[in-house]
Amino acid sequence: MTARFGAVDISNGEIASSLIKTITGQTDLSLNERIFMNIRLPRAVLCIIEGAALAVGGVLMQGLFRNPIVEPGLVGTSSGAAFGAALYFVMGSVLKLSMGQWTLPVAACAGGLLSTGMVYLLAPRAESAKNSVVPLLLTGMAINAVFLSGVGFLSYIARDPQARSITFWSLGSLSGATWTVCLIVGSSTLLCCLLAMYFARQLNALALGEDEASLLGVNIERLKISVLVINVVMVAVATAFSGIISFIGLIVPHQLRILKGADNRSLIIHAALLGGAVLSIADVVSRVLLRPAELPIGIVTSIIGAPVFIYLLRRKNYYF
Amino acid sequence: MLDDISLVLMPGKMNLIIGPNGAGKSSLIRVLSGLAKDYTGEVLYGDKNIRGMKEPGMAVIRAVLSQNIEVAFPMRVHEVVMMGRYPHFKQAPKKSDKEICEETMTLFDIAGMRDRNYMTLSGGEKQRVQFARVCAQVWGADQEAYRFLLLDEPLSSLDIHYQLDLMGRISVMLHNKRLVVVGVIHDLNLAIKYGDNITLLHQGKILDQGEPEKVLTLQNIKAAFRVEPDIVANEKDGSFYLRF
């Protein structure tokens, strides 16, 4: 449905016919039909996958850090992934590392794991869950600053086209969607979501506190590291191909907790669905608002997301 | 912190640990529950040394009610109670798990608030929910194995009605001859009223242990708590109480 709008409007009839033609193996597609099949549809699919990855990442992060106002972006994952990706853009040919299509996501994953790991290890641990947020977020801010300045530096020494890539990338954009990309991000997201479901119940127990969860039979260290790795990989791969998109991981889980409670199993499933839907809407806005140009989707989510975030913070809220 | 501790805690008896602040009561509970691992000596559940046991195995036979439990997210009361059964099922709760949760919720008088948001409850209500959860974890200890229930200052946020109510209910649970209950409490009169085996801790050591009459003497209380109560005979049940 969202594939209809954009720089070029495609009618429903053309959508239907392009699908039929592709399925039946014909190659005489009109321009609009080609746009649909090769650009719009993969983009729509990628939107859903990305939205799911970011939203589920938010659920996992909140469960892990036992706090509802963390999201992958705030604890370093996105900036680390950005740094990894920028490193690939700028230095990739110099360092001669290549795994084909997989190099970019792997670089982003490495960056994301590094940055999130640093936040996790360096953040001072406070006794209660409530008090531990502020030090965590501050550490996240510091690590974000480090990695984003790394990205800045790479932009600075980069040649123009690379610099422009980096800039565009840090604002978030889904214009690079191809079916291959969908496959990569889709498979990683699906795998990570399935693994996350396995750990969901243990994450529920973690809400009582580390000691309590341990007394209920949870192996805390293994849980923390597993969830962290799953989370970072999922978000980093998604970020590698879409750039930094903020707030989905924060607001979607938050709304769902209010609506559906804190059982992680149901949260993961619903977050995947709602996240996909929300990002798709944002994508339509980004394509339509300034047409025929395109607004980077990260800007759309930030413009809408930041005020919502502040509003949520200010509500009389029993978390704080 | 703890020095030269030697304790035997029998099932079916109300074992209570008392002592002044800083005496090491919470540390002792942590050692007994297996949470603290850096000690010399052994802790045996029945005849099994718990040092080698893994968390899932322990979670099935022992539950601990800790002092301050902070639930990070809003949850329904029945969801919190169901967590007590987590060690007993893999992915989804069985019918028996749900029934056990119902029973413990009824036992602690919280069945009426099963759908309420845990975070909106008062301190005492939250405490009762945690009680229900912890009891659900070790429910059904009658058949074969021993089960162990450790309570670290469980009465702290309860009003006098529920303090007496809960001590009464735990006494009823003790009819189960395979359940070992150990509790830390501050109120010395409650210890006299309900305790069968009292351990008085002072500065990390056991000052005295045994029945209330033996342990709660003026000399012991003065040494440990630095107060001098009157020991008054209680004509109603032949025991005694402390008047401060």
Q: Which residues of A287-300 are buried (b: 16+ CB within 10 A; e: fewer)?
A: bbeeeeebbbbbbb
Q: How confident is the model at residue B151 (pLDDT cuts 50, 70, 90)?
A: very high
Cα gap A235→A77, rounded to integer Å:
7
Cα gap A89→A84, rounded to integer Å:
9
Average pLDDT of the residues in A252-264: 80
Does the structure show a pLDDT above 50 at A4?
no
Contact B59 A208 (CB under 8 A): no
- The helix/strand/coil state of A266 is helix
Q: How confident is the model at residue A320 (pLDDT cuts 50, 70, 90)?
A: very low
Does the structure show a pLDDT above 60 at A7?
no
**Is the model more confident about B18 or about A137?**
B18
**DSSP 8-state secondary structure symbol assigned to residue B116:** S
Element (DSSP H or E) covering residue B45: strand B44-45
Predicted local distance difference test score (pLDDT) of residue B18: 92
For B130, name the nearest residue in chain A, comparing CA atoms only: A208
The DSSP result for A90-132, as a single string, is: HHHHHHT--BTBTHHHHHHHHHHHHHHHHHHHHSPPPSSTTTT
ipTM: 0.81
Does the structure show a pLDDT above 70 at A136?
yes
User: Model-level pTM?
Assistant: 0.80
Predicted local distance difference test score (pLDDT) of residue B49: 84
Contact A212 B66 (CB under 8 A): yes
Predicted local distance difference test score (pLDDT) of residue A318: 47
Tens-digit pLDDT profile for residues A32-51:
666 666 777 778 888 888 88
Cα gap A319→A262, rounded to integer Å:
13
Does the structure show a pLDDT above 70 at A230?
yes
Mutate to test the interface with A, among B73, B117, B134, B149 (most CBs of A within 10 A): B73
| Lowest-pLDDT range of A42-51, A101-110, B68-77, B160-169 | A101-110
Mutate to test the interface with B, among A65, A132, A215 (most CBs of B within 10 A): A215
Predicted local distance difference test score (pLDDT) of residue B81: 92
| Lowest-pLDDT range of A14-18, B76-80, B194-198 | A14-18
Cα gap A42→B7, rounded to integer Å:
68
Both ends of chain A: CA-CA distance in Å? 40
Identify which of B58, B71, B137 has the shortest CB distance to residue A207: B71
Cα gap B27→B3, rounded to integer Å:
11
How far does B109 lie from chain A, in Å, by closest CA?
21
Predicted local distance difference test score (pLDDT) of residue B17: 92
